[in-house]
Amino acid sequence: MVSHFVSAINPRAIVFTPNPDPVPNPMLVTMSFVRGSRSWRWPRSIRPRTADSLNLYLLHFEQACNASGCSPEDLLTPAIEENWTSWSLYEDEDLTNTVFDCTQCHQPDGLDGKKLLRMQEHLDPWTHFFKKDRPGGKALLADFHAAHGDSERYGMIPGR
């Protein structure tokens, strides 16, 4: 949905519930955010994973600038991550047949199919992930820090 906003300088932040065990976490929460978009997306499994256990949500928020027009600074800097004036939470069923419909990507086999998480890149060089142990991740981190410095947070992720 927000791929036109995503780059090494403006990445998609994905935050996961910590899981120190190799066993799948039945209470997994994953959140996704991209600056430039006024929404957080997250799937949440609320019981042991079955075909119908993945719940998808969209949190949409407004900023003060929505009344007069938001500048790139309002949308593409840490300013977008704070001081919201309002917000709305939608479950995937609320978004059916809208431009925000989660099932288009997360339930590709139709309404009777299994809901799934999307991870577009599974093999190295992992050019979408800031991974310090991967060549692609190191390159992305270097580009991001060159543009943003070492201390700027992004989403809920602290700087270095």
Looking at the DSSP bridge assignments, the partners of residue 58 are 41, 90
Question: DSSP character for 149?
Answer: -
Peptide bond into 125 cis (omega under 30): yes
Q: Could you tell me which of 27, 32, 24, 58 has the C-alpha nearest to residue 44? A: 27
Tokens of 87: 């917000």
Q: What is the pLDDT of residues 103-160, one digit of tens each?
A: 888 888 888 888 877 766 666 666 666 778 888 888 888 888 888 888 888 877 777 6
Dihedral pair phi/psi, residue 33, rounded to 5°? -150, 145
* 125-131 long-range contacts, CB within 8 A, separation 24+: 128/6, 128/11, 128/12, 130/11
User: What is this structure's pTM?
Assistant: 0.71
Q: 128-147 in b/e burial notation, b at 16+ Cβ within 10 A? A: bbbeeebebbeebbeebeee
Domain boundaries, the chain: 3-118
Q: What is the pLDDT of residues 50-109, one digit of tens each?
A: 444 678 888 888 999 998 999 999 988 889 888 899 998 888 888 888 888 888 888 888
Tokens of 131: 């991974």
